C-alpha cells in the first residue's frame, strides 16, 4: 500500500524562509543567500518524507511567494508594466509582480479558495505572448533526484490556472480566459517533456476548481486540455488532484473520463459525499489517492475510522491501486509538534502538525498491508477518547447562553441612516473623513519589548510604560498628519486573532505553530479546543489609555467572531456556527465594556468573513446567515451614537454585497486598490449602500508610496458611484507589515488628497 503527500509547508520549522526573504528584500543579503536557505529547506523536507516511508513525495510545491505566481512565471505571463526582458524570470521580475516596486504596483492578491492562504491573480488577455520562462519545476525535480529522492513534480493544472485568472487591464471583462488554453498547453508540453527526460515517472496536476460549481463549457475545457496533453503524457503516471470540498457528480464524471490520466485524488475530509460517487462507480484500473488525513486542521487523525474508510475503498479499487494521502497540501497546517515543548500535555496529545500527519499517512498505508503499528494505533485511540471526555472542553453556561440566541436576529433598533445622523452630531467629522485600519508598523524595538515581557525579562510596569510610549507616538503622528479618526496602532498585539484568543477561554496557543498566509507573512492560528467565553476585559485598558491623550475620536479595535473562527484551528466535534456564536457573545461583552468606558467608535474586523464562504453555491445562504448573524450579535446592545465599524480585505466581495449590507455596520472599510477597484463595479451596477464606506485608496502590501494625485484619482472614482456623505478615506488594510519610512509619506499623501478634494467639493457648491 502506497502513501502520498499533496504538498508541504515551505516556511521551515523556524520560519527560515520568511527571514531569508525579508533579508533579501531589505537588501541585507543576496540572491545566493536566499537560494541556499530555500534549497536547504527543500532537501530537508524531501528527506523527512522519504525517511517516514512516503512513496509519492511532491516537488515544485516550494514557492518563494506562491504556487500560482510560479505558473505565471513558467508561462512567461508577465504584465507589460514590469518591463520583463523575456529571459528566464529571476527574482527582480518575480517579486515585482508579487510586491510591486518603486514605479509600478503589484498584481492583485486574493484568497486561495476558502483558506487564509493568498495567491497572486494572473492578468491575461488575447495579446499575452506566452513562453517557457521558468524551469523551476524541472530544476527542483533534478535537485531532489540528485539526493536520491524520486519525487512527483506538481503543477497547477492548466484549466484551474485559467479559471483563477482575470482579464488584464484594458481587456474586456467578458474576455473568455479559457480561450487561452491552446496558447498555454504547448508550454505545459515542454515542461512535461523535460520532466520525462529528467527521469520523472509521475506527475501531479492540481485542479481544485473541479470541486466548484462549473458550467458545461468549463468542464469541457478539462476534457480538451488533457486530450491535448495525452500524447505528451504517455509513459507517465498522471495524477489529477482535487481538494477542499465534495466534487460534484458531473465534475466527477468529467474527471474520471480524462484521457491520459491514471490517478485521481480526492479530499475525503471536507468531501465526504465524494465517497458515495466513488462507491457508485470508479473506473477500473485507475489509482485512487484517498485524502483521509486532514491537511487543513491540526487534530490527530482518527486512525481507526480512517482505516475503516480505506478498507471499504480497497474493496472497490484493489490493494495495488489505493494510495493513502492527505486531503490537500499540508501548507495550511503548522510544521511540527516537536517545536512545542511548552504546550499542555493533554491538548498536545490531541494534535498532529504536518510532520505528524506524514507519519499518520504512512501508518495507515502500512496498516492496510498487515503491518499495523498496534502501539501507535492504541495511543491514537486513547487520545481520541480523552478529547471526547475531557471536562475542559465543555462549559454548560456558555452552551446555555449560545442556545438562548435562537429566535432573535439581533438587529439594532434604529436604522443606519438615523444612527449616522446621531453619530455625526457627536463626532462632528468633516466630509471624506480619514482613518486607518488599525495597526501601525511593528518595529524591532516593539517586538523586543513584547518578547521580553513574555519571557518575564521585564516587569509588567516596564512593559506597560513601553507600550504607552508607543501609543503616544502613534497618536501624535496621526494628529500631525491630521487624520480624523485615530487608532492606537495595536503595539500590544503580535497578531489580531492570537491576541484575543490568548484572553478567551477554550483556546490553546503554540510557540512555533506558524502558517504561511502569503509571501513572508506568517500567522500563528490559535487552537479552539473547547467552549469559548471572555473571563475579563481584553482591550479596554489600552483603548482608554489611547483616548486619554487625544481629543479626536479613538477607535476601539476588535477582531470579529467570524474572523477569529476562520483564522483559528477550530474544534471538529461541533458545528462551526455553534463555536462562532460563542465567540460572538464574548466579543459582545467587550464591545459593551468599551462603550461604557467612553469609546465612541468601535471597529469589529471581519476580514475573513468572505474567506469562509463555502465553495458550492448551494451552501452559501446557510453560511452567510449565521456569519452575518454572529457579527450583529456583537453590537446589538450599543447606543445609536456609538459608531460600529468593520473591515474586510483581499477577497472578492461583489458576490456577497447584500450580506455585507445585512451586517448593518455603520461604516465598513474594505480592500479595493490592489484588486484594481473591482469593488466599485458593484455600485456602478446599481447597488445602493446607505452606510459609511471606505474602499481602500492604496495597497499596503507593497512598499510603493502612492502620490497625492494617484490617491485623489481613486477617490474621484469612488465619488462617481458613492454619495459624498458616506465616503471614508483609508488604506486597504492595516500597516503593521510596512516601515515608518513608507507609512508616513503614504498617509501624508492620503490626507493631502482628501483635503484637495474637500476644497474642490466646497468650491463647486
Q: Is 460 annotated as a binding residue?
A: no
Query: Is 522 known as a binding-site position?
Result: yes
Whether the CB-CB separation of 512 and 461 falls below 8 Å is answered with no
For 603, the enclosing helix (H) or strand (E) is: strand 601-605
Per-residue burial over 280-293, b if 16 or more Cβ lie within 10 Å, else e, is eebeeeebbbbbbb
- Whether 18 has a binding-site annotation, put simply, is yes
* Rounded CA separation 256/252 (Å): 6
Residue 567 is assigned to a ligand binding site? yes
**Binding site annotation covers 521?**
yes
Collapsing DSSP to helix, strand or coil, 326 comes out as: strand
pLDDT for 651 equals 60
Please indicate if the annotation marks 439 as binding a ligand: yes
233 CB burial (10 A radius; 0-12, 13-18, 19+): buried
Reported confidence tier of residue 494, pLDDT bands at 50, 70, 90: confident
- Residue 662 annotated as part of some ligand binding site: yes
Please, which pLDDT band fits residue 741 given cuts at 50, 70 and 90?
A: very high
Residue-wise pLDDT for 248-298, tens only, equals 999 999 999 999 999 999 999 999 899 999 999 999 999 999 999 999 999
> Looking at residues 544-555, what average pLDDT do you find?
97
State the average pLDDT for the chain.
95
Tell me whether residue 118 is one of the annotated catalytic residues: no
**Residue 555 assigned to a binding site:** no
Q: Is a pLDDT exceeding 90 seen at residue 376?
A: yes
Tens of pLDDT, residue by residue over 591-640, are 999 999 999 999 999 989 998 999 999 999 999 999 999 999 999 999 99
Is-contact 483 755, C-beta < 8 A?
no
Q: How far is CA 304 from CA 312, 353, 378, 610, in A?
A: 13, 19, 9, 35
Classify strands 237-241 and 505-508 as parallel, antiparallel or unpaired: unpaired
Q: What are phi and psi of 119, to 5 degrees?
A: -140, 160
What is the rounded CA–CA span in Å between residue 547 and residue 595? 12
| Whole-Å CA distances, 452 to 329, 448, 459, 579 | 35, 6, 9, 33
Look at residue 677 in the predicted model and tell me its pLDDT.
66
| Backbone dihedral angles phi then psi of residue 408, each to the nearest 5 degrees | -135, 145
Least confident residue range of 7-16, 400-409, 681-690: 681-690
Give the pLDDT band (50/70/90) at residue 69. Answer: very high
437 is in an annotated binding site: yes
pLDDT at position 676, please? 62
- Exactly one of 4, 410, 629, 701 is catalytic; which is it? 701
- pLDDT reported for residue 765: 72
Q: How confident is the model at residue 495 (pLDDT cuts 50, 70, 90)?
A: confident
**51 contact partners, CB below 8 Å, separation of at least 6:** none
Which residues are paired to 204 by β-bridges? 154, 239
Tens of pLDDT, residue by residue over 161-208, are 999 999 999 999 999 999 999 999 999 999 999 999 999 999 999 999
Report the C-alpha gap between 588 and 250 in whole angstroms: 44
pLDDT in tens, 653-692: 778 889 999 999 999 998 887 666 667 777 777 778 889 9
Residue 306 CA to its chain's centroid (Å): 28
Distance of CA 598 to the CA centre of its chain: 34
- Whether the pLDDT of residue 652 is over 80: the answer is no
Amino acid at each position: 500500500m502506497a502513501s502520498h503527500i499533496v504538498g508541504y509547508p515551505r516556511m521551515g520549522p523556524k520560519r527560515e524562509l520568511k527571514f531569508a526573504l525579508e533579508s533579501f528584500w531589505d537588501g541585507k543579503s543576496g540572491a545566493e543567500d536566499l537560494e541556499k536557505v530555500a534549497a536547504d529547506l527543500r532537501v530537508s523536507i524531501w528527506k523527512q518524507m522519504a525517511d517516514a516511508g512516503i512513496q509519492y513525495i511532491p516537488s515544485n510545491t516550494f514557492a518563494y511567494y506562491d504556487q500560482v505566481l510560479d505558473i505565471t512565471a513558467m508561462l512567461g505571463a508577465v504584465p507589460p508594466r514590469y518591463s520583463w526582458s523575456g529571459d528566464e524570470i529571476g527574482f527582480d521580475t518575480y517579486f515585482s509582480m508579487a510586491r510591486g516596486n518603486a514605479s509600478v504596483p503589484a498584481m492583485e492578491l486574493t484568497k486561495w479558495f476558502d483558506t487564509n492562504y493568498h495567491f497572486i491573480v494572473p492578468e491575461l488577455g488575447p495579446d499575452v505572448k506566452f513562453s517557457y520562462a521558468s524551469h523551476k519545476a524541472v530544476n527542483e525535480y533534478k535537485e531532489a533526484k540528485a539526493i536520491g529522492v524520486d519525487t512527483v513534480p506538481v503543477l497547477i493544472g492548466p484549466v484551474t490556472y485559467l479559471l483563477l485568472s482575470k482579464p488584464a487591464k484594458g481587456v474586456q471583462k467578458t474576455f473568455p480566459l479559457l480561450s487561452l488554453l491552446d496558447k498555454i498547453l504547448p508550454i505545459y508540453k515542454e515542461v512535461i517533456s523535460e520532466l520525462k527526460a529528467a527521469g520523472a515517472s509521475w506527475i501531479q496536476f492540481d485542479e481544485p476548481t473541479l470541486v466548484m460549481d462549473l458550467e458545461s463549457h468549463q468542464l469541457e475545457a478539462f476534457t480538451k486540455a488533457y486530450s491535448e496533453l495525452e500524447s505528451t503524457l504517455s509513459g507517465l503516471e498522471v495524477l489529477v488532484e482535487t481538494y477542499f470540498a465534495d466534487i460534484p457528480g458531473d465534475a466527477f464524471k468529467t474527471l474520471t473520463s480524462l484521457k491520459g490520466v491514471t490517478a485521481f485524488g480526492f479530499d475525503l475530509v471536507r468531501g465526504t459525499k465524494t465517497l458515495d460517487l466513488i462507491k457508485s462507480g470508479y473506473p477500473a484500473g485507475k489509482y485512487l489517492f484517498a485524502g483521509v488525513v486532514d491537511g487543513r486542521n491540526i487534530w490527530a487523525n482518527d486512525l481507526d475510522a480512517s482505516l475503516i474508510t480505506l478498507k471499504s475503498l480497497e474493496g472497490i479499487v484493489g490493494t495495488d491501486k489505493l494510495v493513502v494521502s492527505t486531503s490537500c497540501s499540508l501548507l495550511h497546517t503548522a510544521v511540527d509538534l516537536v517545536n512545542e515543548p511548552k504546550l499542555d500535555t493533554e491538548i498536545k496529545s490531541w494534535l498532529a502538525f504536518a510532520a505528524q500527519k506524514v507519519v499518520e499517512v504512512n501508518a495507515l498505508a502500512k496498516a492496510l498491508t498487515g503491518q499495523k503499528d498496534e502501539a501507535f494505533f492504541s495511543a491514537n485511540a486513547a487520545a481520541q477518547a480523552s478529547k471526547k471526555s475531557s471536562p475542559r472542553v465543555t462549559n454548560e453556561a456558555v452552551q446555555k447562553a449560545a442556545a438562548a440566541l435562537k429566535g432573535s436576529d439581533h438587529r439594532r433598533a434604529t436604522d443606519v441612516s438615523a444612527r449616522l445622523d446621531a453619530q455625526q452630531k457627536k463626532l462632528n467629522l468633516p466630509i471624506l473623513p480619514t482613518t486607518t485600519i488599525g495597526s501601525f508598523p511593528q518595529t524591532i524595538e516593539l517586538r523586543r519589548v513584547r518578547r521580553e515581557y513574555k519571557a518575564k525579562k521585564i516587569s509588567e510596569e516596564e512593559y506597560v510604560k513601553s507600550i504607552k510610549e508607543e501609543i503616544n507616538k502613534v497618536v501624535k503622528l496621526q494628529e500631525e498628519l491630521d487624520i480624523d479618526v485615530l487608532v492606537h496602532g495595536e503595539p500590544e498585539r503580535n497578531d489580531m486573532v492570537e491576541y484575543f484568543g490568548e484572553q478567551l477561554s477554550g483556546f490553546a496557543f503554540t510557540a512555533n505553530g506558524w502558517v504561511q498566509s502569503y509571501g513572508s507573512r506568517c500567522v500563528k492560528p490559535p487552537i479552539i479546543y473547547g467552549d469559548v467565553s471572555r473571563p475579563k476585559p481584553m482591550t479596554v485598558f489600552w483603548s482608554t489609555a489611547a483616548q486619554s491623550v487625544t481629543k479626536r475620536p479613538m477607535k476601539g479595535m476588535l477582531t470579529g467572531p467570524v474572523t477569529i473562527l476562520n483564522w483559528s484551528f477550530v474544534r471538529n466535534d461541533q458545528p462551526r456556527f455553534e463555536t462562532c456564536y460563542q465567540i460572538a457573545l464574548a466579543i459582545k461583552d467587550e464591545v459593551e465594556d468599551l462603550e461604557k468606558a467612553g469609546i465612541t467608535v468601535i471597529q469589529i474586523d471581519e476580514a475573513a468573513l468572505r474567506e469562509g464562504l463555502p465553495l458550492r453555491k448551494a451552501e452559501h445562504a446557510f453560511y452567510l446567515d449565521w456569519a452575518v448573524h454572529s457579527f450583529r450579535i456583537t453590537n446589538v446592545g450599543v447606543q445609536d451614537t456609538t459608531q460600529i465599524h468593520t473591515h474586510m480585505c483581499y477577497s472578492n466581495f461583489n458576490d456577497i454585497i447584500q450580506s455585507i449590507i445585512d451586517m448593518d455596520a455603520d461604516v465598513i472599510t474594505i480592500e479595493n486598490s490592489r484588486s484594481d477597484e473591482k469593488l466599485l463595479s458593484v455600485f456602478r451596477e446599481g447597488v445602493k449602500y446607505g452606510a459609511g464606506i471606505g474602499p481602500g485608496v492604496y495597497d499596503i502590501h507593497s512598499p510603493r508610496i502612492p502620490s497625492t494625485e494617484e490617491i485623489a484619482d481613486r477617490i474621484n472614482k469612488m465619488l462617481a458611484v458613492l454619495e459624498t456623505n458616506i465616503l471614508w478615506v483609508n488604506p486597504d488594510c492595516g500597516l503593521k507589515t510596512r516601515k515608518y519610512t513608507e507609512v508616513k509619506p503614504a498617509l501624508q499623501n492620503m490626507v493631502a488628497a482628501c483635503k484637495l478634494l474637500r476644497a474642490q467639493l466646497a468650491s463647486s457648491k
